[in-house]
Chains A and B, each alone.
Chain A
Protein backbone atom coordinates (compact mmCIF):
# COMPACT_ATOMS: atom_id res chain seq x y z
CA UNK A 1 0.00 0.00 0.00
CA UNK A 2 1.19 3.50 -0.82
CA UNK A 3 -0.18 6.39 1.22
CA UNK A 4 0.19 10.12 0.60
CA UNK A 5 -0.51 12.20 3.69
CA UNK A 6 -0.93 15.90 2.86
CA UNK A 7 2.05 15.78 0.53
CA UNK A 8 3.30 19.03 -1.02
CA UNK A 9 6.28 19.80 -3.21
CA UNK A 10 7.55 23.33 -3.65
CA UNK A 11 10.63 23.79 -5.82
CA UNK A 12 13.33 26.32 -4.86
CA UNK A 13 12.07 28.74 -7.53
CA UNK A 14 8.73 28.87 -5.72
CA UNK A 15 6.60 26.82 -8.09
CA UNK A 16 4.26 24.44 -6.35
CA UNK A 17 4.33 21.12 -8.19
CA UNK A 18 2.20 19.14 -5.77
CA UNK A 19 -0.28 20.81 -3.44
CA UNK A 20 -1.47 19.02 -0.33
CA UNK A 21 -2.23 15.66 -1.91
CA UNK A 22 -3.63 12.84 0.18
CA UNK A 23 -4.41 9.52 -1.43
CA UNK A 24 -4.14 5.80 -0.89
CA UNK A 25 -3.00 3.33 -3.53
CA UNK A 26 -4.45 0.09 -2.15
CA UNK A 27 -2.54 -3.17 -1.80
CA UNK A 28 -2.43 -5.26 -4.95
CA UNK A 29 -4.32 -2.67 -7.00
CA UNK A 30 -3.34 -0.45 -9.88
CA UNK A 31 -3.82 3.22 -9.08
CA UNK A 32 -3.46 5.64 -11.97
CA UNK A 33 -2.38 9.25 -11.59
CA UNK A 34 -3.72 11.14 -14.60
CA UNK A 35 -3.87 14.79 -15.57
CA UNK A 36 -2.65 17.40 -18.03
CA UNK A 37 1.08 18.02 -18.28
CA UNK A 38 2.53 20.03 -15.42
CA UNK A 39 -0.13 18.89 -12.96
CA UNK A 40 2.33 17.23 -10.58
CA UNK A 41 1.56 13.60 -11.33
CA UNK A 42 5.11 12.69 -12.34
CA UNK A 43 6.56 14.64 -9.40
CA UNK A 44 4.19 12.75 -7.11
CA UNK A 45 5.46 9.45 -8.46
CA UNK A 46 9.10 10.53 -8.16
CA UNK A 47 8.58 11.38 -4.50
CA UNK A 48 7.69 7.77 -3.72
CA UNK A 49 11.17 6.48 -4.59
CA UNK A 50 12.74 9.77 -3.52
CA UNK A 51 14.05 10.88 -6.88
CA UNK A 52 12.37 14.05 -5.58
CA UNK A 53 11.97 14.81 -1.88
CA UNK A 54 8.71 16.02 -0.37
CA UNK A 55 8.56 19.57 1.00
CA UNK A 56 5.91 18.69 3.53
CA UNK A 57 3.69 15.77 4.40
CA UNK A 58 4.59 12.08 4.38
CA UNK A 59 4.60 9.21 1.93
CA UNK A 60 4.29 5.73 3.38
CA UNK A 61 5.11 2.55 1.49
CA UNK A 62 3.69 -0.47 3.28
CA UNK A 63 3.45 1.64 6.41
CA UNK A 64 7.04 2.91 6.35
CA UNK A 65 7.81 6.59 5.87
CA UNK A 66 10.03 6.76 2.78
CA UNK A 67 11.98 9.72 4.14
CA UNK A 68 13.17 7.43 6.95
CA UNK A 69 14.48 4.81 4.49
CA UNK A 70 17.87 4.95 2.78
CA UNK A 71 17.32 6.14 -0.81
CA UNK A 72 19.28 3.37 -2.50
CA UNK A 73 17.69 0.64 -0.39
CA UNK A 74 14.24 2.12 -0.93
CA UNK A 75 14.67 2.19 -4.71
CA UNK A 76 15.96 -1.36 -4.91
CA UNK A 77 12.77 -2.46 -3.18
CA UNK A 78 10.46 -0.69 -5.63
CA UNK A 79 9.94 -1.69 -9.26
CA UNK A 80 10.45 1.20 -11.65
CA UNK A 81 9.36 1.46 -15.28
CA UNK A 82 9.72 4.64 -17.33
CA UNK A 83 8.87 6.07 -20.71
CA UNK A 84 11.35 5.21 -23.51
CA UNK A 85 12.15 2.09 -21.43
CA UNK A 86 15.46 3.47 -20.09
CA UNK A 87 17.07 0.14 -20.88
CA UNK A 88 20.85 -0.02 -20.65
CA UNK A 89 21.93 -0.08 -24.31
CA UNK A 90 25.25 -1.76 -23.53
CA UNK A 91 23.68 -4.73 -21.80
CA UNK A 92 21.74 -7.67 -23.22
CA UNK A 93 18.09 -8.20 -22.42
CA UNK A 94 19.06 -10.80 -19.82
CA UNK A 95 21.56 -8.47 -18.13
CA UNK A 96 19.05 -5.64 -18.15
CA UNK A 97 16.44 -7.81 -16.49
CA UNK A 98 18.84 -9.02 -13.80
CA UNK A 99 19.98 -5.49 -12.90
CA UNK A 100 18.36 -5.19 -9.47
CA UNK A 101 19.03 -8.76 -8.29
CA UNK A 102 22.69 -8.20 -9.17
CA UNK A 103 22.72 -4.92 -7.23
CA UNK A 104 21.24 -6.84 -4.32
CA UNK A 105 23.91 -9.53 -4.68
CA UNK A 106 21.49 -12.39 -5.21
CA UNK A 107 22.50 -15.87 -6.27
CA UNK A 108 23.45 -15.75 -9.94
CA UNK A 109 21.88 -18.98 -11.05
CA UNK A 110 18.57 -18.30 -9.34
CA UNK A 111 18.56 -14.78 -10.75
CA UNK A 112 19.07 -16.05 -14.29
CA UNK A 113 16.32 -18.63 -13.99
CA UNK A 114 13.96 -16.00 -12.66
CA UNK A 115 14.95 -13.63 -15.47
CA UNK A 116 14.19 -16.20 -18.16
CA UNK A 117 10.81 -16.81 -16.54
CA UNK A 118 10.06 -13.10 -16.56
CA UNK A 119 11.20 -12.64 -20.14
CA UNK A 120 8.65 -15.23 -21.19
CA UNK A 121 6.03 -13.82 -18.88
CA UNK A 122 6.17 -10.42 -20.57
CA UNK A 123 5.79 -12.05 -23.97
CA UNK A 124 9.34 -12.30 -25.30
CA UNK A 125 11.12 -15.48 -26.29
CA UNK A 126 14.16 -16.73 -24.40
CA UNK A 127 16.16 -16.49 -27.65
CA UNK A 128 15.78 -12.74 -27.35
CA UNK A 129 17.53 -12.79 -23.95
CA UNK A 130 20.93 -12.42 -25.61
CA UNK A 131 19.95 -9.47 -27.78
CA UNK A 132 20.78 -5.85 -27.16
CA UNK A 133 17.99 -3.27 -26.69
CA UNK A 134 18.75 -1.68 -30.08
CA UNK A 135 17.77 -4.97 -31.71
CA UNK A 136 14.26 -4.83 -30.25
CA UNK A 137 11.18 -2.85 -31.29
CA UNK A 138 9.85 -0.10 -29.02
CA UNK A 139 7.11 -2.35 -27.71
CA UNK A 140 9.56 -5.16 -26.96
CA UNK A 141 11.83 -2.71 -25.15
CA UNK A 142 8.93 -1.65 -22.92
CA UNK A 143 8.26 -5.31 -22.14
CA UNK A 144 11.87 -5.75 -21.07
CA UNK A 145 11.48 -2.64 -18.93
CA UNK A 146 8.53 -4.26 -17.15
CA UNK A 147 10.46 -7.53 -16.69
CA UNK A 148 13.39 -5.58 -15.25
CA UNK A 149 11.09 -3.89 -12.74
CA UNK A 150 9.67 -7.24 -11.65
CA UNK A 151 13.00 -9.06 -11.37
CA UNK A 152 13.46 -8.73 -7.62
CA UNK A 153 9.73 -9.34 -7.07
CA UNK A 154 9.10 -6.00 -5.33
CA UNK A 155 5.67 -5.58 -3.74
CA UNK A 156 5.35 -2.04 -5.08
CA UNK A 157 5.85 -0.74 -8.62
CA UNK A 158 6.06 2.77 -10.03
CA UNK A 159 5.30 3.22 -13.72
CA UNK A 160 5.91 6.58 -15.35
CA UNK A 161 4.08 6.77 -18.69
CA UNK A 162 5.46 3.34 -19.62
CA UNK A 163 3.35 2.91 -22.77
CA UNK A 164 3.24 6.50 -24.04
CA UNK A 165 6.09 6.33 -26.53
CA UNK A 166 4.82 3.39 -28.59
CA UNK A 167 2.29 3.52 -31.40
CA UNK A 168 -1.42 3.14 -30.53
CA UNK A 169 -1.80 -0.44 -31.78
CA UNK A 170 1.22 -1.67 -29.84
CA UNK A 171 0.15 0.39 -26.84
CA UNK A 172 -3.23 -1.26 -26.73
CA UNK A 173 -1.75 -4.76 -26.82
CA UNK A 174 0.86 -3.83 -24.21
CA UNK A 175 -1.97 -2.61 -21.98
CA UNK A 176 -3.94 -5.84 -22.41
CA UNK A 177 -0.88 -7.96 -21.70
CA UNK A 178 -0.02 -5.84 -18.73
CA UNK A 179 -3.48 -6.29 -17.23
CA UNK A 180 -3.12 -10.05 -17.60
CA UNK A 181 0.31 -9.90 -15.98
CA UNK A 182 -1.01 -7.81 -13.10
CA UNK A 183 -3.76 -10.40 -12.59
CA UNK A 184 -0.98 -12.93 -11.97
CA UNK A 185 1.42 -10.84 -9.90
CA UNK A 186 -0.98 -8.54 -8.02
CA UNK A 187 1.49 -5.72 -7.38
CA UNK A 188 0.63 -2.46 -5.69
CA UNK A 189 1.13 -0.11 -8.61
CA UNK A 190 1.23 3.64 -9.02
CA UNK A 191 0.92 4.43 -12.72
CA UNK A 192 1.30 7.86 -14.32
CA UNK A 193 -0.27 8.74 -17.66
CA UNK A 194 -1.68 11.79 -19.42
CA UNK A 195 -4.08 9.59 -21.36
CA UNK A 196 -7.49 9.36 -19.70
CA UNK A 197 -8.46 6.36 -21.84
CA UNK A 198 -5.42 4.47 -20.58
CA UNK A 199 -6.28 5.49 -17.02
CA UNK A 200 -9.85 4.23 -17.36
CA UNK A 201 -8.73 1.02 -19.02
CA UNK A 202 -5.99 0.08 -16.56
CA UNK A 203 -6.89 1.66 -13.26
CA UNK A 204 -8.61 0.02 -10.33
CA UNK A 205 -8.57 3.56 -9.00
CA UNK A 206 -7.99 6.75 -10.94
CA UNK A 207 -6.63 9.92 -9.37
CA UNK A 208 -7.25 12.98 -11.54
CA UNK A 209 -4.76 15.80 -10.97
CA UNK A 210 -5.54 19.39 -11.89
CA UNK A 211 -3.16 22.21 -12.69
CA UNK A 212 -1.34 23.56 -9.66
CA UNK A 213 -0.70 20.05 -8.42
CA UNK A 214 -3.90 19.39 -6.58
CA UNK A 215 -5.84 16.18 -6.58
CA UNK A 216 -9.25 16.85 -8.13
CA UNK A 217 -10.79 13.43 -7.61
CA UNK A 218 -9.85 9.84 -6.84
CA UNK A 219 -12.39 7.14 -7.58
CA UNK A 220 -12.96 3.92 -9.42
CA UNK A 221 -13.07 4.48 -13.21
CA UNK A 222 -16.81 3.78 -13.26
CA UNK A 223 -17.56 6.32 -10.54
CA UNK A 224 -15.29 8.83 -12.19
CA UNK A 225 -17.24 8.54 -15.44
CA UNK A 226 -20.59 8.50 -13.64
CA UNK A 227 -19.99 11.36 -11.25
CA UNK A 228 -17.11 13.73 -12.01
CA UNK A 229 -16.43 15.83 -8.92
CA UNK A 230 -16.27 19.13 -10.81
CA UNK A 231 -16.20 20.79 -14.21
CA UNK A 232 -12.48 20.19 -14.62
CA UNK A 233 -12.77 16.46 -14.08
CA UNK A 234 -15.85 16.30 -16.32
CA UNK A 235 -14.04 18.04 -19.17
CA UNK A 236 -10.86 16.04 -18.64
CA UNK A 237 -12.73 12.77 -18.64
CA UNK A 238 -14.13 14.03 -21.89
CA UNK A 239 -16.83 13.16 -24.37
CA UNK A 240 -18.34 9.70 -24.58
CA UNK A 241 -18.10 9.22 -20.86
CA UNK A 242 -21.69 7.96 -20.83
CA UNK A 243 -20.87 5.35 -23.43
CA UNK A 244 -17.47 4.46 -21.95
CA UNK A 245 -19.02 4.01 -18.55
CA UNK A 246 -21.02 1.09 -19.94
CA UNK A 247 -17.88 -1.01 -19.69
CA UNK A 248 -18.08 -0.79 -15.92
CA UNK A 249 -21.72 -1.85 -15.75
CA UNK A 250 -22.40 -5.59 -15.70
CA UNK A 251 -24.64 -7.12 -18.33
CA UNK A 252 -25.66 -9.86 -15.97
CA UNK A 253 -29.35 -9.75 -15.24
CA UNK A 254 -30.26 -8.24 -18.58
CA UNK A 255 -33.49 -9.84 -19.83
CA UNK A 256 -32.44 -12.24 -22.58
CA UNK A 257 -35.06 -14.15 -24.43
CA UNK A 258 -34.74 -17.47 -26.16
CA UNK A 259 -33.03 -17.28 -29.51
CA UNK A 260 -34.82 -17.96 -32.81
CA UNK A 261 -32.44 -20.79 -33.70
CA UNK A 262 -32.53 -23.34 -36.48
CA UNK A 263 -30.01 -25.81 -37.89
CA UNK A 264 -28.65 -25.98 -41.40
CA UNK A 265 -31.30 -27.57 -43.64
CA UNK A 266 -34.18 -26.73 -41.28
CA UNK A 267 -37.05 -24.52 -42.31
CA UNK A 268 -36.38 -20.84 -41.77
CA UNK A 269 -38.37 -19.06 -39.07
CA UNK A 270 -40.38 -15.88 -39.53
CA UNK A 271 -38.14 -12.88 -39.12
CA UNK A 272 -34.39 -13.35 -38.57
CA UNK A 273 -33.15 -16.86 -37.95
CA UNK A 274 -30.00 -17.68 -36.00
CA UNK A 275 -28.34 -20.67 -37.59
CA UNK A 276 -26.62 -23.02 -35.13
CA UNK A 277 -24.65 -26.21 -35.44
CA UNK A 278 -25.42 -29.54 -33.78
CA UNK A 279 -24.02 -28.30 -30.44
CA UNK A 280 -26.01 -25.04 -30.52
CA UNK A 281 -22.96 -22.99 -31.41
CA UNK A 282 -23.93 -19.98 -33.54
CA UNK A 283 -23.03 -19.96 -37.25
CA UNK A 284 -24.65 -16.77 -38.54
CA UNK A 285 -27.86 -14.90 -39.21
CA UNK A 286 -30.34 -15.72 -41.95
CA UNK A 287 -32.36 -12.78 -43.25
CA UNK A 288 -36.17 -13.03 -43.28
CA UNK A 289 -37.80 -14.38 -46.45
CA UNK A 290 -35.74 -17.52 -46.98
CA UNK A 291 -37.35 -20.93 -47.09
CA UNK A 292 -34.68 -23.02 -45.47
CA UNK A 293 -31.41 -22.46 -43.60
CA UNK A 294 -28.46 -22.86 -45.91
CA UNK A 295 -24.86 -22.16 -45.07
CA UNK A 296 -24.13 -19.96 -48.08
CA UNK A 297 -26.90 -17.44 -47.33
CA UNK A 298 -25.82 -16.70 -43.75
CA UNK A 299 -24.75 -13.24 -42.72
CA UNK A 300 -21.88 -12.93 -40.25
CA UNK A 301 -22.66 -13.10 -36.58
CA UNK A 302 -20.74 -9.98 -35.58
CA UNK A 303 -19.71 -10.01 -31.94
CA UNK A 304 -21.31 -11.91 -29.08
CA UNK A 305 -21.24 -11.48 -25.32
CA UNK A 306 -21.35 -13.61 -22.19
CA UNK A 307 -22.89 -13.22 -18.73
CA UNK A 308 -19.67 -11.80 -17.30
CA UNK A 309 -19.23 -9.16 -20.01
CA UNK A 310 -20.06 -5.50 -19.52
CA UNK A 311 -23.04 -3.68 -20.91
CA UNK A 312 -20.65 -2.12 -23.40
CA UNK A 313 -19.91 -5.53 -24.90
CA UNK A 314 -23.61 -6.33 -25.05
CA UNK A 315 -24.43 -3.01 -26.70
CA UNK A 316 -21.61 -3.48 -29.18
CA UNK A 317 -23.05 -6.91 -30.05
CA UNK A 318 -26.47 -5.38 -30.69
CA UNK A 319 -25.01 -2.62 -32.86
CA UNK A 320 -23.09 -4.95 -35.16
CA UNK A 321 -25.74 -7.68 -35.41
CA UNK A 322 -27.54 -7.64 -38.76
CA UNK A 323 -30.67 -8.75 -36.91
CA UNK A 324 -30.40 -6.05 -34.24
CA UNK A 325 -30.16 -8.85 -31.70
CA UNK A 326 -27.10 -9.51 -29.54
CA UNK A 327 -26.33 -13.18 -29.07
CA UNK A 328 -25.32 -14.26 -25.60
CA UNK A 329 -23.19 -17.37 -25.24
CA UNK A 330 -22.76 -19.60 -22.21
CA UNK A 331 -19.41 -20.88 -20.95
CA UNK A 332 -19.33 -23.62 -23.58
CA UNK A 333 -19.86 -21.14 -26.41
CA UNK A 334 -23.44 -22.30 -26.99
CA UNK A 335 -26.28 -19.89 -27.67
CA UNK A 336 -27.82 -18.84 -24.39
CA UNK A 337 -30.34 -16.28 -25.68
CA UNK A 338 -30.63 -12.98 -27.48
CA UNK A 339 -31.33 -9.43 -26.39
CA UNK A 340 -32.51 -6.41 -28.37
CA UNK A 341 -31.66 -2.76 -28.03
CA UNK A 342 -34.77 -1.73 -26.13
CA UNK A 343 -34.24 -4.38 -23.47
CA UNK A 344 -30.62 -3.28 -23.04
CA UNK A 345 -31.68 0.32 -22.67
CA UNK A 346 -34.19 -0.57 -19.98
CA UNK A 347 -31.59 -2.62 -18.16
CA UNK A 348 -29.09 0.22 -18.44
CA UNK A 349 -31.50 2.67 -16.93
CA UNK A 350 -32.27 0.35 -14.04
CA UNK A 351 -28.63 -0.51 -13.33
CA UNK A 352 -27.47 3.11 -13.56
CA UNK A 353 -29.85 3.95 -10.76
CA UNK A 354 -28.41 1.12 -8.69
CA UNK A 355 -24.89 2.23 -9.47
CA UNK A 356 -25.60 5.81 -8.46
CA UNK A 357 -26.67 4.57 -5.06
CA UNK A 358 -23.16 3.19 -4.69
CA UNK A 359 -23.50 -0.49 -5.49
CA UNK A 360 -21.56 -0.53 -8.70
CA UNK A 361 -19.00 -3.22 -9.10
CA UNK A 362 -16.27 -3.38 -11.65
Chain B
Protein backbone atom coordinates (compact mmCIF):
# COMPACT_ATOMS: atom_id res chain seq x y z
CA UNK B 1 0.00 0.00 0.00
CA UNK B 2 1.18 3.43 -0.96
CA UNK B 3 -0.25 5.55 1.86
CA UNK B 4 1.43 8.64 0.51
CA UNK B 5 -0.59 8.38 -2.71
CA UNK B 6 -3.84 8.35 -0.70
CA UNK B 7 -2.84 11.48 1.20
CA UNK B 8 -1.71 13.26 -1.99
CA UNK B 9 -4.90 12.39 -3.86
CA UNK B 10 -7.42 12.84 -1.06
CA UNK B 11 -9.26 15.59 -2.93
CA UNK B 12 -9.68 13.42 -6.02
CA UNK B 13 -10.81 10.44 -3.92
CA UNK B 14 -13.36 12.57 -2.06
CA UNK B 15 -14.65 14.03 -5.33
CA UNK B 16 -15.09 10.53 -6.82
CA UNK B 17 -16.80 9.31 -3.64
CA UNK B 18 -19.30 12.16 -3.77
CA UNK B 19 -19.90 11.53 -7.47
CA UNK B 20 -20.43 7.86 -6.68
CA UNK B 21 -22.96 8.71 -3.99
CA UNK B 22 -25.19 10.88 -6.11
CA UNK B 23 -24.85 8.69 -9.19
CA UNK B 24 -26.23 5.77 -7.18
CA UNK B 25 -28.68 7.64 -4.93
CA UNK B 26 -30.56 9.80 -7.42
CA UNK B 27 -31.68 6.80 -9.52
CA UNK B 28 -32.99 5.09 -6.35
CA UNK B 29 -35.09 8.13 -5.46
CA UNK B 30 -36.48 8.69 -8.96
CA UNK B 31 -36.86 4.94 -9.53
CA UNK B 32 -38.85 4.64 -6.30
CA UNK B 33 -41.13 7.52 -7.29
CA UNK B 34 -41.79 5.95 -10.69
CA UNK B 35 -42.24 2.50 -9.12
CA UNK B 36 -44.74 3.85 -6.58
CA UNK B 37 -46.89 5.35 -9.30
CA UNK B 38 -46.67 2.31 -11.59
CA UNK B 39 -47.03 -0.11 -8.66
CA UNK B 40 -50.15 1.58 -7.33
CA UNK B 41 -51.63 1.64 -10.83
CA UNK B 42 -50.81 -2.06 -11.41
CA UNK B 43 -52.22 -2.92 -8.00
CA UNK B 44 -55.43 -1.04 -8.75
CA UNK B 45 -55.82 -2.09 -12.38
CA UNK B 46 -54.84 -5.69 -12.06
CA UNK B 47 -54.97 -6.44 -15.80
CA UNK B 48 -52.05 -4.05 -16.33
CA UNK B 49 -49.70 -5.96 -14.04
CA UNK B 50 -48.74 -8.99 -16.19
CA UNK B 51 -47.74 -6.90 -19.24
CA UNK B 52 -45.93 -4.45 -16.94
CA UNK B 53 -43.97 -7.36 -15.46
CA UNK B 54 -42.90 -8.43 -18.94
CA UNK B 55 -41.68 -4.91 -19.75
CA UNK B 56 -39.71 -4.46 -16.52
CA UNK B 57 -38.33 -7.99 -16.89
CA UNK B 58 -37.00 -7.21 -20.35
CA UNK B 59 -35.57 -3.86 -19.19
CA UNK B 60 -33.76 -5.53 -16.37
CA UNK B 61 -32.10 -8.12 -18.59
CA UNK B 62 -30.36 -5.47 -20.74
CA UNK B 63 -26.66 -5.55 -19.73
CA UNK B 64 -25.70 -2.31 -18.02
CA UNK B 65 -22.71 -1.63 -20.22
CA UNK B 66 -24.86 -2.00 -23.34
CA UNK B 67 -27.38 0.44 -21.90
CA UNK B 68 -24.66 2.96 -21.01
CA UNK B 69 -23.49 2.90 -24.63
CA UNK B 70 -26.91 2.77 -26.31
CA UNK B 71 -28.52 5.55 -24.26
CA UNK B 72 -26.44 8.42 -25.68
CA UNK B 73 -27.50 7.30 -29.16
CA UNK B 74 -31.17 7.12 -28.17
CA UNK B 75 -31.16 10.30 -26.07
CA UNK B 76 -28.73 12.29 -28.20
CA UNK B 77 -26.57 13.04 -25.18
CA UNK B 78 -22.80 13.26 -25.08
CA UNK B 79 -21.11 9.97 -24.18
CA UNK B 80 -19.52 11.63 -21.13
CA UNK B 81 -22.81 13.07 -19.87
CA UNK B 82 -23.60 11.68 -16.37
CA UNK B 83 -27.25 11.74 -17.41
CA UNK B 84 -26.63 8.48 -19.30
CA UNK B 85 -25.65 6.68 -16.10
CA UNK B 86 -28.45 8.29 -14.10
CA UNK B 87 -31.11 7.31 -16.60
CA UNK B 88 -29.80 3.79 -17.04
CA UNK B 89 -29.71 3.17 -13.29
CA UNK B 90 -33.13 4.78 -12.86
CA UNK B 91 -34.53 2.27 -15.35
CA UNK B 92 -33.02 -0.63 -13.40
CA UNK B 93 -34.13 0.75 -10.04
CA UNK B 94 -37.65 1.41 -11.22
CA UNK B 95 -37.89 -1.99 -12.89
CA UNK B 96 -36.91 -3.79 -9.70
CA UNK B 97 -38.97 -1.63 -7.38
CA UNK B 98 -42.26 -1.88 -9.29
CA UNK B 99 -42.40 -5.52 -8.36
CA UNK B 100 -41.54 -4.70 -4.76
CA UNK B 101 -44.25 -2.06 -4.49
CA UNK B 102 -46.90 -4.40 -5.90
CA UNK B 103 -45.71 -7.23 -3.63
CA UNK B 104 -45.85 -4.89 -0.66
CA UNK B 105 -49.38 -3.76 -1.46
CA UNK B 106 -50.46 -7.37 -2.04
CA UNK B 107 -49.12 -8.29 1.39
CA UNK B 108 -51.55 -5.95 3.16
CA UNK B 109 -53.90 -8.25 5.11
CA UNK B 110 -57.28 -8.56 3.33
CA UNK B 111 -59.12 -7.78 6.59
CA UNK B 112 -57.29 -4.45 6.82
CA UNK B 113 -58.21 -3.52 3.27
CA UNK B 114 -61.81 -4.61 3.82
CA UNK B 115 -62.05 -2.62 7.04
CA UNK B 116 -60.61 0.49 5.38
CA UNK B 117 -63.08 0.19 2.54
CA UNK B 118 -66.01 -0.46 4.87
CA UNK B 119 -65.14 2.47 7.12
CA UNK B 120 -65.38 4.83 4.18
CA UNK B 121 -61.88 5.46 2.84
CA UNK B 122 -61.72 6.71 -0.72
CA UNK B 123 -59.53 4.48 -2.85
CA UNK B 124 -56.51 6.75 -3.22
CA UNK B 125 -56.58 7.86 0.42
CA UNK B 126 -56.76 4.22 1.42
CA UNK B 127 -53.75 3.29 -0.69
CA UNK B 128 -51.65 6.25 0.42
CA UNK B 129 -52.50 6.36 4.13
CA UNK B 130 -53.21 2.70 4.90
CA UNK B 131 -51.78 0.30 2.34
CA UNK B 132 -48.47 1.96 1.44
CA UNK B 133 -47.43 2.53 5.07
CA UNK B 134 -48.14 -1.13 5.80
CA UNK B 135 -46.09 -2.06 2.71
CA UNK B 136 -43.03 -0.12 3.95
CA UNK B 137 -41.11 -3.14 5.32
CA UNK B 138 -41.43 -4.97 1.98
CA UNK B 139 -40.60 -1.84 -0.02
CA UNK B 140 -37.53 -1.09 2.11
CA UNK B 141 -36.30 -4.66 1.59
CA UNK B 142 -36.41 -3.94 -2.16
CA UNK B 143 -34.76 -0.55 -1.71
CA UNK B 144 -31.82 -2.17 0.07
CA UNK B 145 -31.23 -4.56 -2.81
CA UNK B 146 -31.54 -1.79 -5.39
CA UNK B 147 -29.28 0.62 -3.50
CA UNK B 148 -26.47 -1.86 -3.12
CA UNK B 149 -26.87 -2.98 -6.74
CA UNK B 150 -26.63 0.64 -7.89
CA UNK B 151 -23.51 1.30 -5.87
CA UNK B 152 -21.81 -1.61 -7.59
CA UNK B 153 -23.19 -0.75 -11.05
CA UNK B 154 -21.99 2.86 -10.97
CA UNK B 155 -18.45 1.51 -11.19
CA UNK B 156 -19.25 -0.06 -14.54
CA UNK B 157 -19.81 3.46 -15.81
CA UNK B 158 -16.08 3.98 -15.43
CA UNK B 159 -15.66 2.00 -18.64
CA UNK B 160 -17.34 4.86 -20.50
CA UNK B 161 -15.58 7.49 -18.42
CA UNK B 162 -18.04 8.30 -15.65
CA UNK B 163 -18.12 5.91 -12.76
CA UNK B 164 -17.33 7.51 -9.43
CA UNK B 165 -15.04 5.25 -7.45
CA UNK B 166 -15.01 2.89 -10.45
CA UNK B 167 -12.62 5.29 -12.11
CA UNK B 168 -10.06 4.30 -9.49
CA UNK B 169 -10.35 0.70 -10.75
CA UNK B 170 -9.93 1.57 -14.41
CA UNK B 171 -6.97 3.84 -13.90
CA UNK B 172 -5.45 1.50 -11.31
CA UNK B 173 -5.66 -1.40 -13.75
CA UNK B 174 -4.20 0.63 -16.57
CA UNK B 175 -1.09 1.56 -14.62
CA UNK B 176 -1.04 -1.63 -12.50
CA UNK B 177 -1.26 0.43 -9.32
CA UNK B 178 -2.77 -1.78 -6.57
CA UNK B 179 -3.26 0.94 -3.95
CA UNK B 180 -5.68 2.82 -6.21
CA UNK B 181 -7.72 -0.34 -6.83
CA UNK B 182 -7.86 -1.18 -3.14
CA UNK B 183 -8.97 2.34 -2.21
CA UNK B 184 -11.80 2.13 -4.77
CA UNK B 185 -12.80 -1.30 -3.55
CA UNK B 186 -12.78 -0.48 0.16
CA UNK B 187 -14.67 2.79 -0.30
CA UNK B 188 -17.30 1.09 -2.51
CA UNK B 189 -17.82 -1.57 0.14
CA UNK B 190 -18.01 0.98 2.94
CA UNK B 191 -20.46 3.03 0.94
CA UNK B 192 -22.69 0.00 0.31
CA UNK B 193 -22.64 -1.05 3.96
CA UNK B 194 -23.35 2.50 5.17
CA UNK B 195 -26.23 2.96 2.75
CA UNK B 196 -27.71 -0.38 3.80
CA UNK B 197 -27.48 0.47 7.50
CA UNK B 198 -29.03 3.85 6.84
CA UNK B 199 -32.01 2.21 5.16
CA UNK B 200 -32.44 -0.26 8.03
CA UNK B 201 -32.34 2.66 10.45
CA UNK B 202 -34.91 4.57 8.37
CA UNK B 203 -37.22 1.58 8.35
CA UNK B 204 -37.01 1.19 12.12
CA UNK B 205 -37.91 4.85 12.52
CA UNK B 206 -40.84 4.74 10.10
CA UNK B 207 -42.31 1.41 11.17
CA UNK B 208 -42.14 1.20 14.96
CA UNK B 209 -45.17 -1.12 14.82
CA UNK B 210 -43.48 -3.76 12.68
CA UNK B 211 -41.40 -5.74 15.19
CA UNK B 212 -43.93 -5.85 18.00
CA UNK B 213 -45.75 -9.09 17.31
CA UNK B 214 -42.96 -11.28 18.67
CA UNK B 215 -42.60 -9.39 21.93
CA UNK B 216 -46.31 -8.91 22.65
Contacts and interface: CB of A to CB of B under 8 A. Distances in A.
Interface stretch (A83-91, A115-123, A250-258): A83-91
Contacts of A99: 119
A212 B118 CA distance: 25
B208 interface: yes
Given A84-B109, A103-B121, A89 B134 contact: yes
Nearest to A99: B119
B116 to A, nearest CB: 7
Given A82-B114, A86-B115, A88-B130, A72 B122 contact: yes
A51 B118 contact: yes
Nearest to B136: A90
- How extensive is the interface on chain A, given as a class? 20 to 34
A88 B115 CA distance: 9
Interface in B97-132: 109, 111-112, 114-122, 125, 130
A82 B117 CA distance: 12
Contact of A86 (B111, B125, B208, B209): B111
A100 interface: yes
Contact of A87 (B112, B121, B212, B213): B112
Given A132-B212, A135-B216, A89 B112 contact: yes
Contacts, number: 75
A75 B212 contact: no
A88 B116 contact: yes
A83 B122 CA distance: 22
Contact of A80 (B112, B118, B125, B134): B118
A73 B136 CA distance: 29
A132 B208 contact: yes
Contacts of A75: 117-120
B212 A90 contact: no
A136 B119 contact: no
B118 A134 contact: no
A81 to B, nearest CB: 9
A49 interface: yes
Given A72-B120, A73-B120, A90-B207, A134 B213 contact: yes
Give the one of A51, A77, A90, A100 with max B CB within 10 A. A90
Nearest to B121: A103
Interface string B156-176: 000000000000000000000
A136 B120 CA distance: 25
B110 to A, nearest CB: 9
A80 B115 contact: yes
B82 interface: no
A89 B215 CA distance: 15
A76 interface: yes
Given A80-B115, A87-B112, A135-B212, A103 B120 contact: yes
B72 interface: no
Contacts of B130: 88, 90
Interface in A83-130: 83-91, 99-100, 103
Which residue among B119, B133, B216 has the maximum number of chain A CB atoms within 10 Å of its CB? B119
29 contacts: A51-B114, A72-B120, A73-B120, A74-B120, A75-B117, A75-B119, A75-B120, A77-B120, A80-B115, A80-B118, A82-B111, A82-B114, A82-B115, A85-B111, A86-B115, A88-B116, A89-B134, A89-B209, A90-B134, A90-B207, A91-B209, A99-B119, A100-B120, A103-B125, A134-B212, A134-B213, A134-B216, A135-B212, A135-B216
Q: Which 4 A-B pairs have the closest CB atoms?
A: A86-B115, A76-B120, A75-B120, A80-B118
Given A75-B119, A90-B133, A134-B209, 7 more contacts: A74-B120, A77-B120, A85-B111, A89-B209, A90-B134, A132-B209, A136-B216
